[in-house]
């Protein structure tokens, strides 16, 4: 097999965080790889399951002997056996004029001279003298060469195999070229053969043992291709060095165009680039407002270059993920993660996030403890849930769906004591007390269950909408790339497009759902996303009753739910409200319980301190002050326009003449408005709070 240039292939990290190299992760609802062309399930034959293969017959004509052999192979495959080429006969005039194809169990194995070894292998032969055969004879008719079936027998003296067995016969166990390249890459990355087989099963979406080849074939292929592996390794090492230099040059050029652009890298003893990280000026400026919570996504790695990809994300005031920075790491050790964290903090001029959200990784956890000791570390619940199937579905079998449902309920318990009691009950009930993954999850319990992280500020990064927006960005940049330079360009383009979209977003008018002044005031202050979240709490707060507990304490309970009551403490002197549910501390959005107390206290406006800067409408990623107006301006325009049109509509319905006049005049006004420029001085003056430079 000749080596050829390979794309930079990204694959999800499949090594389980439990540390057992035999344990791997299969992600639910994912094909596991990006940057790989669609893999077609193939068994090495040219016919599909829907093709009709008729039984060969004497006199059947083929253009070539290869065509006949392929036809016989397909027939054999569908009938539970395989064939091999036996005798061929030739002459001076015709060359090869006869071909004999026989069943793979035809004839008998001839005894061989045993090797002079202490324990010679005594392999049992599969040959049993089967007489199934197809003989071909060549003839020339009108100057055209053709082959016809001269003899055919389909009588076997052995059992024919079922389809799930016949595919395992050596004749049908083919490793296609695309799979060969994949195997070589995984071998170079240090994957053992059994892991390689599991990776290929995951990529093709087949059940274990359903590949068109077996582990033994992969092992033999790797053994015979050691030289090719070494050549590929040398080629990729050289190419990686060149790619890193090209990436370095691209960063230097970008820094000349973007004054805020920052990058850093490390080198080994020979001066070759090892780790690399960069961030754009827009991202760094955005961190100053939205950097309270960051996500460090380390799901993917390049198996072409054996490097880990780490991407930093923030969440804006519209609840969407935005790019903060990127890191390419040589390995997954705590030292590499420490360097990535140090570099990220340098980019941010020493600023630290309040909370950092990651996947389960012991090396990353240790690095965060060392480099960001004042930041709260949270394991994303989505990363935990994505691993459950790999960890427990096989052992639990039919019980797994029930286990998963109860596990998800357990995750959202708000009391630590309740969580630990229910945890013990859950693992005992399903008999998984000694499972290593149960021990792993429990050892990380301070970082992922709601009961433990309820007081950590997460700014709604655990919502499905945020996760989807982050996943969408990742899929945008993880296309096949011939170099890291191209990958860098793709990240730059995706980041620019994302910021441009945010610039073009116009504030939307959010209708009122209650008559409470609190709601109207919040709508003028918060972004549409944050207001919608708060509005839902305002609507629900009306379903709660309060009980005065004296000393400014109130017990807030749903009108028909006996459980789930919360204690709200109201401090009038400083206008502070604290709820035991800790929703505000968790998301920056006041909870329904606190809002119920504010309504009880006849508050017409929510205190300003409970409108965090990150959720305000006049806080934005927008860098162009000629694009958006403030939410307040849009609200005033919308309300005024709605009031005017409502009155006009009522008046014009009084008579036909009024309606005709209004209809005519509105058409003329519409034509005039359409001919007006998009921006004018008056419109631009409506946005005094537009952010020019964060």
Closest to 565 (Cα-Cα) out of 581, 548, 549: 581
First-to-last alpha carbon distance for the chain, in angstroms, is 55
Q: Give the separation between CA 295 and CA 317, rounded to whole angstroms.
A: 15
Q: How confident is the model at residue 271 (pLDDT cuts 50, 70, 90)?
A: confident
The 3 state secondary structure assigned to 359-371 is CCCHHHHHHHHHH
Query: What per-residue confidence (pLDDT) applies to 37?
Result: 31
Question: Once rounded to an integer, what is the mean pLDDT over residues 666-684?
Answer: 59
Query: What per-residue confidence (pLDDT) applies to 118?
Result: 60
Q: Give the separation between CA 197 and CA 191, rounded to whole angstroms.
A: 10
Query: What per-residue confidence (pLDDT) applies to 662?
Result: 82
Query: What per-residue confidence (pLDDT) applies to 28?
Result: 53
The 3 state secondary structure assigned to 27-44 is CCCCCCEECCCCCCCCCC
CA 204 to chain CA centroid, Å, is 17
| Residue 568 CB coordination number (10 Å) | 25
Give pLDDT tens digits for 607-634: 999 999 999 988 765 444 333 333 344 4
Contacts of 180 (CB under 8 A, 6+ apart): 1, 221, 225
Residue 507 pLDDT greater than 60, yes or no: no
Question: Once rounded to an integer, what is the mean pLDDT over residues 530-545?
Answer: 94
Q: Where are the beta strands (DSSP E) in 104-247?
A: 133-141, 144-153
User: Whole-prediction pTM value?
Assistant: 0.67
Query: What per-residue confidence (pLDDT) applies to 3?
Result: 42
Residue 34 pLDDT greater than 60, yes or no: no
Query: What per-residue confidence (pLDDT) applies to 27?
Result: 63
Q: How confident is the model at residue 417 (pLDDT cuts 50, 70, 90)?
A: very high
8 Å CB contact between 292 and 355: yes
Residue scoring higher pLDDT (622 or 436): 436
Q: Is 631 exposed, middle or buried (0-12, 13-18, 19+ CB in 10 A)?
A: buried
Return the H-helix or E-strand segment holding 89: strand 83-91
Residue 58 pLDDT greater than 60, yes or no: yes
Query: What per-residue confidence (pLDDT) applies to 413?
Result: 92
Q: Give the separation between CA 581 and CA 415, rounded to whole angstroms.
A: 10
Query: What per-residue confidence (pLDDT) applies to 103?
Result: 93
Question: Once rounded to an integer, what is the mean pLDDT over residues 408-431?
Answer: 94
Query: What per-residue confidence (pLDDT) applies to 43?
Result: 37
8 Å CB contact between 579 and 568: yes
| Residue 143 CB coordination number (10 Å) | 5
Q: How confident is the model at residue 388 (pLDDT cuts 50, 70, 90)?
A: very high
| Residue 236 CB coordination number (10 Å) | 20
Give pLDDT tens digits for 215-240: 888 888 888 776 655 666 677 778 88
Q: How confident is the model at residue 7 (pLDDT cuts 50, 70, 90)?
A: low
User: For the ranges 201-210, 344-353, 390-399, 497-506, which has the lowest average pLDDT?
Assistant: 497-506
Residue 402 pLDDT greater than 90, yes or no: yes
Closest to 358 (Cα-Cα) out of 290, 317, 311: 311
Give pLDDT tens digits for 545-555: 999 988 889 99
Question: Once rounded to an integer, what is the mean pLDDT over residues 504-515?
Answer: 73
277 DSSP β-pair partners = 264, 327
Q: How confident is the model at residue 93 (pLDDT cuts 50, 70, 90)?
A: confident
Q: Give the separation between CA 347 and CA 281, rounded to whole angstroms.
A: 9
Residue scoring higher pLDDT (447 or 271): 447
Residue 47 pLDDT greater than 60, yes or no: no
Closest to 200 (Cα-Cα) out of 328, 42, 16: 42
Query: What per-residue confidence (pLDDT) applies to 485?
Result: 87
Residue 1 pLDDT greater than 60, yes or no: no
**Chain position carrying tokens 């097999």:** 1
Question: Once rounded to an integer, what is the mean pLDDT over residues 139-146?
Answer: 88
């Amino acid at each position: 097999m000749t080596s050829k240039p390979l794309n930079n292939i990204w694959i999800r990290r499949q090594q389980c965080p439990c540390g057992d190299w035999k344990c791997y992760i299969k992600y639910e609802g994912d094909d596991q790889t990006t940057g790989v062309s669609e893999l077609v399930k193939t068994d090495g034959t040219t016919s599909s399951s829907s093709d009709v293969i008729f039984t060969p017959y004497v006199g059947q004509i083929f253009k070539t002997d290869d065509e006949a052999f392929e036809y016989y192979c397909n027939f054999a495959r569908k009938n539970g056996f395989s064939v091999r080429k036996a005798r061929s006969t030739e002459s001076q005039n015709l060359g090869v004029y006869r071909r004999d194809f026989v069943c793979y169990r035809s004839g008998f194995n001839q005894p061989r001279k045993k090797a002079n070894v202490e324990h010679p292998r005594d392999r049992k032969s599969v040959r049993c003298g089967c007489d199934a055969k197809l003989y071909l004879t060549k003839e020339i008719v009108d100057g055209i060469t053709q082959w016809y079936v001269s003899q055919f027998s389909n009588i076997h003296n052995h059992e024919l195999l079922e389809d799930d067995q016949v595919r395992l016969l050596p004749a049908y166990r083919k490793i296609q070229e695309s799979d060969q390249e994949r195997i070589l890459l995984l071998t170079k990355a240090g994957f053992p053969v059994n892991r390689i087989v599991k990776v290929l099963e995951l990529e093709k979406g087949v059940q274990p043992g359903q590949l068109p080849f077996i582990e033994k074939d992969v092992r033999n292929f790797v053994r015979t291709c050691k030289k090719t592996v070494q050549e590929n390794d040398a080629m990729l090492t050289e190419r990686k060095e060149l790619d890193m230099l090209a990436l370095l040059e691209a960063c230097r050029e970008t820094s000349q165009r973007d004054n805020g652009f920052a990058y850093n890298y490390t080198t080994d003893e020979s001066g070759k680039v090892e780790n690399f990280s960069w961030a754009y000026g827009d991202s760094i400026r955005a961190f100053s407002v939205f950097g309270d919570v960051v996500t460090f996504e380390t799901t993917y790695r390049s198996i072409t270059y054996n490097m880990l990809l780490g991407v930093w994300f923030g969440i804006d005031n519209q609840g969407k993920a935005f790019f903060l920075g990127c890191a390419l790491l040589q390995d997954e050790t705590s030292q590499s993660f420490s360097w990535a964290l140090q570099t990220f903090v340098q980019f941010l001029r020493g600023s630290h996030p309040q909370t950092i959200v990651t996947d389960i990784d012991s090396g990353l956890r240790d690095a965060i403890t060392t480099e960001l000791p004042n930041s709260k570390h949270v394991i994303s619940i989505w990363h935990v849930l994505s691993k459950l199937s790999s960890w427990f579905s096989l052992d639990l079998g039919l019980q797994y769906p029930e286990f998963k449902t109860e596990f998800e309920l357990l995750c959202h318990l708000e009391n630590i004591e309740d969580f630990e009691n229910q945890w013990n009950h859950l693992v005992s009930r399903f008999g998984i007390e000694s499972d290593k993954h149960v021990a792993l999850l429990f050892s990380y319990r301070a970082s992922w269950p709601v009961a433990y992280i309820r007081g950590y500020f997460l700014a709604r990064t655990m919502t499905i909408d945020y996760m989807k927006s982050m996943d969408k960005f990742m899929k945008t940049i993880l296309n096949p790339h011939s170099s890291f330079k191209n990958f860098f360009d793709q990240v730059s383009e995706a980041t620019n497009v994302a910021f441009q979209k945010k610039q073009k977003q116009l504030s939307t008018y959010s209708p009122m759902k209650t008559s409470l002044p609190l709601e109207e005031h919040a709508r003028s202050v918060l972004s549409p996303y944050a207001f919608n979240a708060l509005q839902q709490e305002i609507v629900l707060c009306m379903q709660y009753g309060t009980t005065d507990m004296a000393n400014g304490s109130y017990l807030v309970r749903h009108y028909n739910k006996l459980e789930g009551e919360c204690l709200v403490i109201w401090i009038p002197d400083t206008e502070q409200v604290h709820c035991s549910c800790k929703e505000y501390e968790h998301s920056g959005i006041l909870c329904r319980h606190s809002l119920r107390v504010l309504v009880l206290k006849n508050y017409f406006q929510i205190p300003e301190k409970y409108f965090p800067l990150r959720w305000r409408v006049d806080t934005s990623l927008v860098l162009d002050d000629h694009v958006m107006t403030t939410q307040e301006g849009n609200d005033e325009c919308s309300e005024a326009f709605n009031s005017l049109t409502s009155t006009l509509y009522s008046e014009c319905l009084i008579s036909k003449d009024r309606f005709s006049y209004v209809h005519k005049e509105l058409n003329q006004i519409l034509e005039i408005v359409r001919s007006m420029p998009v921006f004018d001085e008056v419109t631009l003056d409506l946005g005094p709070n537009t952010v020019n430079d964060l």
